[in-house]
Structure 1
Amino acid sequence: MRKLVYRRLEERSRVIAIASGKGGVGKTNIALNLGLILARQGLRTLLFDADLGLANVDILMGLVPRYSLKEVIGGQCTLEEVIIRGPHDLLLVPGASGIQELADLDPPARDRLIHDLAFLATKVDIILVDSGAGISRTVFSFAAAAGEAIVVATPEPTSITDAYGLIKGLQRLKVSMHLIVNRATNKLEGQQAAGRLQGACRRFLQLELPLLGIIPEDSRVGQAVRCQQPFSELFPRCPAARALEEAAAKLQGQELPAGRSQGFWQRLGRLLGR
């Protein structure tokens, strides 16, 4: 019965994990600005900060959250008190510092929290999960629970190699994937980087990796970070913002992965509780 309730609660929301094979590729910046663009385009959007290594979505927005998921788990506040409302009604859950506590909760307490998170999911159309960089159990747990992931890489050889390792692990979990190449000097460099990664996936994994977008190297992105503002808000017509808008439109035109549109929080609780 509890599983049925979870499925009914979550049946409207699409969940996408955003991950990278290594840090420093701009994953969190992509997650935040993609969320804002989707919200601006009319989708009720929730961004869940699950990056254990470096939780900084709030920093990029110039916000100081009063609470995180850790305080919810500890009983100091409610889930509603944790939520930060950003531009275009983007909802942000700063949860990173509470992810390990979520895994360590006893089953009844974890079920209660996951039920609350599932109820929150009924209020949105799409959930983006900033799931951390590298290959770890937590990253794989979020991606497996979502069933859909955006892999962010740069044209650097080390980034391509690390992204391939991540993709290999996600394929074993039957996660549907898309690729964003970030910080490309020009479109050709981005296409070549994507081609190398797609070629390796096709040859060794028998996997077709759809390219969602190529985001150019853009000085306005760095300026926005220094101003603690999202670049898609501060410079909405800059090349990076326009490229990400195209990626967002492309994402909305794609179908949901078969069999993975329901039960994200329930699956996540089970995976983290193993």
Structure 2
Amino acid sequence: MDQAQNLRNIIKAENAVPVLSRVITITSGKGGVGKSNLAINLAISLSRLGKKVVVLDADFGLANIEVMLGIRPQYNLSDLMFRGKSLSEIITKGPENVGFISGGSGIREMTNLTKDQLANLSARLSELDRQADVVIIDTGAGISENVMEFVMSSAEVLLVATPEPTSITDAYALLKTLDRQPEFTREHCHIKLIANKVNDDQSGKELFEKLSVVADKFLNISLEYMGAVPTDSNINKAVMKQQPLSIAFPKSQASRAIDDIAKLIIDPQGETVNKSKRRGLAGIFTETLRRTLNR
């Protein structure tokens, strides 16, 4: 190989853009709005559309996702960091080829990491960026410090709310708390609303308008509308069966609505906009833990 070719290869390597997973953080202002249910069924819909999907249950200390799936993970995120397990060992295989990572006891256990340990965690999580097209982070509900950290670090956030006044109020409280964070930058965080448990599409749009108007006026935060998922008795039936709705009742109204949202998520235009802002799961965890360690 001549020197010119060597030089071209070096330049090409230096200019190479790392392949990063598309990380979507799903959150809500309060519990009981169907956030975790949406997370796992959206993951299944995306998988059926040809995406490699992994769900991270970041509602630390609780086990919503694994209960819904009827699966007990053998290992969790803490085992990756402290007990020598590999990334592949802590990913539990779920339905429709969806991977699942249990958060375990939580990020609090990781607040005493040294810089070397933090670098090691980032490197190991970066493996996921090469394995998954989409990583869905299911946060806890509310405005806890852990939730805010994940939301602030994410380029793409799905905010779930229902027509109940308390849900709308709490969703606004989450946005207000986010706005007060010095590290929050609007241009790097796209927040999209999913109206859940609504009567029809019009009800979903009305919910979005209520929240969007006040968020824009008082917080200068622009929301995008991702769609609505109707109230569906099959959702509770699926929960009781410990099966995702998309598996137990794939033709139900709610399941079809989630499929539509999944198609909107992977719309080519949405993908193009998002690629320039991707940080991957490793980048999000590194930033989140960095802020936690600096407090």
One-letter amino acid of the counterpart of residue 80, structure 1: S
Q: Secondary structure at the match of 1:229?
A: coil
Shift of 1:26: 0.7
Asked whether the 8 Å contact 1:134–1:162 carries over to 2, the reply is yes
Shift of 1:55: 2.8
1:273 aligns with 2:273: no
Shift of 1:103: 2.7
Asked whether the 8 Å contact 2:44–2:246 carries over to 1, the reply is yes
Q: 2:213 matched to which residue of 1?
A: 199
Shift of 1:102: 2.2
In the alignment, the residues of structure 2 paired with residue 258 and residue 77 of structure 1 have an alpha-carbon distance, to the nearest angstrom, of 30
Q: 1:212 matched to which residue of 2?
A: 226
In the alignment, the residues of structure 2 paired with residue 148 and residue 76 of structure 1 have an alpha-carbon distance, to the nearest angstrom, of 31
Deviates more, 1:101-110 or 1:121-130: 101-110
Instruction: Decide whether aligned partners of structure 1 residues 225 and 110 sit closer, same or farther in structure 2, where only a CA change above 3 A counts.
Output: same
Moved over 4 A (4+): none
Aligned match for 1:31, one of 39, 42, 49 = 39
RMSD over aligned Cα atoms: 2.0
One-letter amino acid of the counterpart of residue 68, structure 2: L
In the alignment, the residues of structure 1 paired with residue 125 and residue 35 of structure 2 have an alpha-carbon distance, to the nearest angstrom, of 23
Equivalences for 1:62-141 in 2 at 5 Å? Answer: 62-75=70-83, 77-141=85-149
Give the structure-1-normalised TM-score.
0.90
In the alignment, the residues of structure 2 paired with residue 94 and residue 201 of structure 1 have an alpha-carbon distance, to the nearest angstrom, of 33
One-letter amino acid of the counterpart of residue 289, structure 2: G
Give the structure-2-normalised TM-score.
0.84
In the alignment, the residues of structure 2 paired with residue 176 and residue 219 of structure 1 have an alpha-carbon distance, to the nearest angstrom, of 31
Equivalences for 1:145-224 in 2 at 5 Å? Answer: 145-171=153-179, 173-174=184-185, 175-224=189-238
Q: 2:51 matched to which residue of 1?
A: 43
Deviates more, 1:125-134 or 1:250-259: 250-259
Q: 1:233 matched to which residue of 2?
A: 247
1:260 aligns with 2:282: no
Shift of 1:185: 2.5
Question: Sequence identity, in percent?
Answer: 36
Instruction: Decide whether aligned partners of structure 1 residues 79 and 90 sit closer, same or farther in structure 2, where only a CA change above 3 A counts.
Output: same
Q: 1:19 matched to which residue of 2?
A: 27
One-letter amino acid of the counterpart of residue 196, structure 1: K
Q: Secondary structure at the match of 1:73?
A: helix
Asked whether the 8 Å contact 1:138–1:272 carries over to 2, the reply is no
Q: Secondary structure at the match of 1:113?
A: helix
Deviates more, 1:64-73 or 1:169-178: 169-178
Deviates more, 1:46-55 or 1:164-173: 164-173
Q: Work out which of the two has the higher radius of gyration on C-alpha atoms and give 1 or 2.
A: 2
Aligned residues: 267
